[in-house]
Amino acid sequence: MSTDEKTGLLFPGQGSQAVGMGRDLAERFSEARETFEEADDALGFALSRVMWEGPDEELTLTRNAQPALLVHSAAVWRVLERAGGVPAVAAAGHSLGEFSAYFAAGSLSFADAVRTVRRRGEVMFEAGQARPGTMAAVLGLDDAVVEGVCREASTDDSVVVPANFNSPGQVVVSGDVDAVQRASALLVSAGAKKVTGLNVSGAFHSPLMAAAETALQEHLASIEVRDPAFPVVSNVTATPVTTGDEARLLLVQQLTSAVSWTASIRTLLQLGVTRFVEIGSGKVLTGMLKRIDPAAAGRGTPLGTAEAIEAYLQAQA
């Protein structure tokens, strides 16, 4: 890699988990193995067993998937740090991944980060039980069209909103079940290539998550959130966050706000990022780069396996 490359870090969110995640890291790197052990101690149960052995139904539970993804990202990050680190100029994380980004930036201690996202998963699930909702992925429509349909499909007591602006032509909507159903039919009529219901336990990133905000706010108020060592682009505002106080506020707002991922990547590009490294499970975010900016195609490197990390470190040597 050229010495004038500017690296931006990407941290995956819920949906990137898979049974077996991180096991090869623990077998190959002592830093990773210690990270999984610390997570188990912090949570008081063997999260590593759930990550490595499943079953998938247990790993996919929101309260497990969120800490699992953060721990995997943290294990990768610590291995890279021990090898000399990645000179990042900024970072962004998709939903849950934003907490992983703040851990990497030094804003959250590892134990606090793990417990926080476990709590986040719990309160999101509870909010989904209190007011059941759902989500649907929409392909092939402009953001403005999706936003307009959501307004049309919403009523005073039944709402649907855009929840994830993942890339041009790929938006997720979220809300009350009947409102999402109304919106889905309207989106098809508006020319969507595909509208697919998602198997989720609640209407994430929508007003239906309001009940979770207070609990997360109280939890974040009880822990230290330091200023990040490098800017973390907020899901809510798609702007760089440089203070712990702002991070604390926006991480709460994130529960009921859309994930502005397309805009976040464009912000990283405006900050001068020329190379992206995806830290953790899967390669979903790397795959989105080309759709967000064709010039970014081929600039992403997913680092989630021992093999990928070893190849990356060898290339830096």
Same domain? For 108 and 241 the reply is yes
- Picking from 201, 223, 241, the residue at the C-terminal end of a domain is 201
The whole domain housing 57 covers 7-128+208-316
pLDDT in tens, 10-47: 999 999 999 999 999 999 999 999 999 999 999 999 99
Examine the domain organization and report whether 175 and 305 are in the same domain. no
Mean pLDDT for the chain? 96
Alpha helices in the chain (DSSP H): 23-28, 30-43, 47-53, 56-60, 62-82, 97-104, 110-130, 143-153, 177-189, 210-221, 244-253, 261-270, 284-292, 306-316
| Inside any domain, residue 216 | yes
Q: Do 123 and 140 fall within a single domain?
A: no
Q: Indicate if 57 and 185 belong to the same structural domain.
A: no
Give yes or no: residues 35 and 124 share one domain. Answer: yes
Residues 117 and 138 in one domain: no
Which of 153, 184, 201 is the last residue before a domain boundary?
201
Greater confidence (208 vs 295) lies with 208
Number of domains in the chain: 2
- Clarify whether residues 47 and 138 are in a common domain: no
Catalytic status, residue 95: yes
Phi/psi of residue 202, nearest 5 degrees: 180, 175
pLDDT category, 297, cuts 50, 70, 90? confident
Residue 290: the pLDDT is 93
Whether residues 183 and 139 fall in one domain: yes
Omega cis (within 30) before 55: yes
Residue in the block written with tokens 């090869």? 24
pTM exceeding 0.75 = yes
Looking at the fold, whether 73 and 174 belong to one and the same domain comes out as: no
- The dihedral over CA atoms of 83, 98, 125, 130, expressed in degrees to the nearest 10, equals 170
As given in the structure block, the two tokens for residue 277 are 């490294």
- The gap from C-alpha 289 to its chain's centroid, in whole angstroms, comes to 15
Looking at the fold, whether 308 and 262 belong to one and the same domain comes out as: yes
What pLDDT score was predicted for residue 1? Answer: 47
Q: What is the pLDDT of residue 316?
A: 84
| Residue 241: predicted pLDDT | 98
Q: Is residue 1 part of a domain?
A: no
Tokens of 35: 């990270």
User: Can you tell me the distance from the alpha carbon of 276 to that of 268, in angstroms, rounded to the nearest whole number?
Assistant: 9
Dihedral of the alpha carbons of 27, 104, 285, 288, in degrees to the nearest 10: -150
Q: Residue 272: what pLDDT?
A: 96
pLDDT in tens, 126-158: 999 999 999 999 999 999 999 999 999 999 999
Per-residue pLDDT at 317: 76
Judge whether residue 53 has pLDDT over 80. Answer: yes
Q: Which of 72, 94, 205, 219 is catalytic?
A: 205
User: What confidence category does residue 5 fall into, taking pLDDT thresholds of 50, 70 and 90?
Assistant: confident
Does 96 reside within a domain? Answer: yes
Is 219 in the same domain as 100?
Answer: yes
Give 279's DSSP letter: E
Average pLDDT value for residue range 251-278: 98
Catalytic residue among 48, 95, 234, 260: 95
Q: In the predicted model, what is the mean pLDDT of residues 276-280?
A: 98
Between strands 232-233 and 88-93, the pairing is parallel
* Per-residue pLDDT reduced to its tens digit, 281-290: 999 999 999 9
Residue 282 within a domain? yes
Q: How far is CA 79 from the centre of its chain?
A: 20
Say if residue 3's pLDDT is above 80.
no
> Catalytic: 94?
no
Q: Is residue 2 part of a domain?
A: no
Distance CA 46, CA 62 (A): 16
Residue 77 placed within a domain: yes
Residues 27 and 64 in one domain: yes
State which of 145, 172, 201 marks the end of a domain: 201
Q: What percent of the chain has a predicted confidence (pLDDT) above 90?
A: 96
Each residue of 191-225: pLDDT tens digit?
999 999 999 999 999 999 999 999 999 999 999 99
CA distance 52 to 281: 13
